[in-house]
Amino acid sequence: MSSSSVPPSPQTQSISALSSTQAPSPRTSQSNKKVPSKVWEQLKHYQENLIYLPLTPPDSRTVVQTPDQHEMPHYVPITLQTPDEVKLAAYYIPHISDGKLSPHTLLYCHGNAGNIGQRLPIAKILHLGCKLNVFMLEYRGFGRSEGRADEKGLKIDSQTALDWIFAKEELKRTKVVLYGQSMGGAVVIDLASRNPGKITAVIVENTFLSLPKLMPHVSPLLRMASFLLHQIWDSETAITQIDIEVPILLLSGGKDDVIPQQHMLGLLKTVREARYTAFTKGLGFDAGNSGNDPTPGRLIRRQSDSMIDVEESTRGSNSSLHEKKAVRPSLLLNSGRGKKGLVQLLLKRNAHKPNPVDVELETNTGRSVKNVYGVYWAEFPNGGHGSTCTESGYFEAIQNFLRAVL
């Protein structure tokens, strides 16, 4: 991929965030008390240098490609101002068709290392193929953004970007999708967990349960000192705090040698269990009582004003998407009947907003994307950490997911 310096920005916009990020994790404070202040500061900077890689490749802080170099000429270079007075670079790429702006906006949070310019080929496919407005955020310490990267700062950065979207007149009524790769996955999981009612869908590729759980894989010597980690990124907890009505697509590479696939499988298990518990409570069942537990594969029907009739939908021979489009349900349960038919239990007929449609998506390559409780899973057996997005069916899975939930 060729690179060139960013030309002087003809149009720059700035905004201060409308809200700030959450307080540091209690675990961080406890670790701090165990270590002398000077040693702690040195340890903190060492961890940040070890974890965040803004200088990889070496010219990543000075050479940043622009969207017009990738056939997206109608972009706006943005400068964001965070509450802690850090200036961030960003690209806003509106999608206009027949004179109308797309009603859907994607906030792109990239992975560790490099800059937003190096992710423009991916942004182009999402922008043109999925017909999305795309907002590409450059974290502090990366690319042309000021500051130094750390967990607290990146959480502020993502919130600032989201607030910019909702403050902009032409975008504030659009449906917002969060997309994050690797470290960006942790960023969007956290952001979605702190913004109930604002996010329409979340897409995550090859991210981790938490840094303390990842570090032993990176360096076995760190296993004994994991309690000293200052950067936590507890996605395992945060993903369970995302609004239950927000559909989540997890994209996993089977040959990821940076973040073992067990992390993505762990996130899948954690969020599905959390939503299953929420669903059963919503039905008036005790999740701990196996006799009353509406497990997948068992159809539970109850007469109630909040219930809608149960139907089984079938796939048409020429359809690549299996779904039932009926009323606007709030919650859906998959009976586990597999590809030949999904029995859906539709709840809360008078929901205020659309909900994840209980579907099984199939790409033209035959790859299926499974959905249980609004959590979709797509696995790419040969996908590596940086190459999963190049696997056959990757972008088609995203496109079909978005068609189902937007």
- Supply the pLDDT for residue 357: 34
pLDDT exceeds 90 at position 258? yes
- Supply the pLDDT for residue 256: 97
pLDDT exceeds 60 at position 211? yes
- How many structural domains are present in the chain? 1
pLDDT exceeds 90 at position 2? no
Contact (Cβ atoms closer than 8 angstroms) between residue 323 and residue 359: yes
CA distance 68 to 93: 10
CA distance 251 to 214: 18
Stronger pLDDT, 147 or 345, i.e. the higher one: 147
Stronger pLDDT, 248 or 301, i.e. the higher one: 248
Q: Does 18 reside within a domain?
A: no
Token pair 């059963």 in the structure block, residue? 280
What would you report as the CA-atom Rg of the chain, rounded to the nearest whole angstrom? 22
Do the strands 375-380 and 342-347 form a parallel or antiparallel pair, or are they unpaired?
unpaired
Q: Does 306 reside within a domain?
A: no
**pLDDT (average), residues 211-239:** 84
Q: Which pLDDT band, with edges at 50, 70 and 90, does 16 fall under? A: very low
Percent of the chain with pLDDT over 70: 67
pLDDT exceeds 70 at position 277? yes
pLDDT in tens, 298-353: 322 222 222 222 232 223 333 233 333 332 223 333 323 332 222 232 222 222 23
- Supply the pLDDT for residue 373: 83
Do the strands 311-313 and 368-372 form a parallel or antiparallel pair, or are they unpaired?
unpaired
Q: Does 58 reside within a domain?
A: yes
* Residue ranges making up the domain that contains 41: 29-275
Do the strands 76-81 and 87-93 form a parallel or antiparallel pair, or are they unpaired?
antiparallel
Contact (Cβ atoms closer than 8 angstroms) between residue 5 and residue 62: yes
Q: Does 315 reside within a domain?
A: no
Q: Does 94 reside within a domain?
A: yes
Q: Which of 406, 404, 235 is nearest to 323 (CA)?
A: 404
- Supply the pLDDT for residue 364: 52
Which tokens go with 327?
A: 């009323």
Q: Which pLDDT band, with edges at 50, 70 and 90, does 280 fall under? A: confident
User: Which residues are 201's β-sheet partners?
Assistant: 177
Mean pLDDT is highest, among 8-17, 18-27, 281-290, for 281-290
Coil, helix or strand at residue 232: coil
- Supply the pLDDT for residue 217: 85
Q: Does 292 reside within a domain?
A: no
Q: Which pLDDT band, with edges at 50, 70 and 90, does 368 fall under? A: low
Q: Does 124 reside within a domain?
A: yes
Contact (Cβ atoms closer than 8 angstroms) between residue 270 and residue 236: yes
- Look over the chain and give the mean of its residue pLDDT values, rounded to a whole number: 77
Q: What is the CATH number of the domain that holds 67?
A: 3.40.50.1820
Stronger pLDDT, 277 or 155, i.e. the higher one: 155
- Supply the pLDDT for residue 221: 62
Stronger pLDDT, 93 or 8, i.e. the higher one: 93
Which tokens go with 116?
A: 């937003």
pLDDT exceeds 80 at position 113? yes
pLDDT in tens, 28-52: 444 445 556 776 677 677 778 888 9
Q: Under 8 Å CB-to-CB from 226, ≥6 apart: which residues?
A: 212, 215, 216
- Supply the pLDDT for residue 191: 99
- Supply the pLDDT for residue 104: 99
- The string of DSSP letters for 8-58 reads PPSS----B-SS-PPPPPHHHHHHHHTS-HHHHHHHHHHHHHHH--TTSST
Q: Does 361 reside within a domain?
A: no
Q: Which pLDDT band, with edges at 50, 70 and 90, does 237 fall under? A: very high
- Supply the pLDDT for residue 199: 98
CA distance 111 to 105: 19
- Supply the pLDDT for residue 175: 98
